[in-house]
Amino acid sequence: MSRADIPTFTLNDGNRLPSIGFGTYKLNGKEGVDSMTAAISRGYRLLDCAFNYENEGAVGQAVRQSEVPRDQLFVASKLPGRHHKYDQAVVTIEESLYRTGLDYLDLYLIHWPNPKQGIYVEAWQALIDAQKRGLVKSIGVSNFLPEHIDTLIKETGVAPAVNQVELSPYFAQKEQRAFDAKHNIVTEAWSPLGHASALLEDKHLQEIADQHNKNIVQIILRWHFQLGVLAIPKSANPERQKQNLELFDFELNDDEMAAIERLDRPDGRTNDQDPAEYEEF
Ligand code: A2P
């Protein structure tokens, strides 16, 4: 597969993102840069990081040292909960950018809504203003429930371009996806492989994989793609990084999509992180 073959998703602000990205949680320092460099050479073009992963520097280093032109790479980062206050959010976005050593970021998200703290609208206003200043090309949220997004739109008139949520076959987020689609928001999936847990040994997925001569991970990532969901699988292993992009040369049929949808379970989260309750700073 040639690298240019990764299809793109168009956002509600007109910008485009690759339909699959590379998760970088726990990829830090020199080893992290090496993993990200390998991922770029395998064909990944979108790198997802966060202020709280403490690896914006490594992502920036990988992007700056890459032979791939900057405008063909996409860097996403996220605002931590402890800096939702407007003035702090503005400075934190600037810090994120400076840490990467890049001229702009492609996507910036509010990492968690932290509803008990209840000032995510202030944070959103800071993201809106950062986008106007050209620091970030697109803005979005992560772990936001419909009620939180409704509040953002009501208070600012600006809908997020992306909502990044936990989403895997065991936690399929049907209602959230429908809500996002209604507002033209691209749903992004963190932990698309369910942290490599029991999901990767699921016998129903194995049957589908056997039909297509693919592995379970490729079936899972193809399912995300066909749902219109942007998955960001993480792998430190170059061979698995490569395999995880080999999903554009086959198609799941309706019955297979439905069979995967039936794996959804209410307790399918990998950790007990319900954004209505859980807060992260
Ligand atoms: P590794 O880095 O050793 O490849 P998630 O993105 O859902 O949190 O899952 C990440 C986990 O999935 C990592 O532990 C990663 O391990 C593992 N993983 C990624 N790709 C594959 C693959 N193709 N086969 C098996 N495990 C994988």
pLDDT at res. 1: 40
Tell me what the mean pLDDT of segment 34-49 comes to. 97
Q: What is the mean pLDDT of the chain?
A: 97
pLDDT of 280 higher than 50: yes
Span 221-265, pLDDT tens digits: 999 999 999 999 999 999 999 999 999 999 999 999 999 999 999
Q: What is the 3-state secondary structure (H, E, C) of 139-203?
A: EEEECCCHHHHHHHHHHHCCCCCEEEEECECCECCHHHHHHHHHCCCEEEEECCCHHHCHHHHCH
| Model pTM above 0.95 | yes
pLDDT band at residue 2 using 50, 70 and 90 as cut-offs: very low
Span 142-156, pLDDT tens digits: 999 999 999 999 999
CB 104 within 8 A of CB 136: yes
Q: Is the beta carbon of 237 within 6 A of some atom in ligand 1?
A: yes
Span 17-34, pLDDT tens digits: 999 999 999 999 999 999
Span 194-227, pLDDT tens digits: 999 899 999 999 999 999 999 999 999 999 999 9
Query: What domains can you pick out in the chain, each with its CATH number?
Result: 16-261 (3.20.20.100)
Q: Catalytic: 53?
A: yes
Among 25, 44, 53, 86, which one carries the catalytic annotation? 53
CA-closest residue to ligand 1 atom 9: 195
Span 54-80, pLDDT tens digits: 999 999 999 999 999 999 999 999 999
Q: Is the beta carbon of 196 within 6 A of some atom in ligand 1?
A: yes
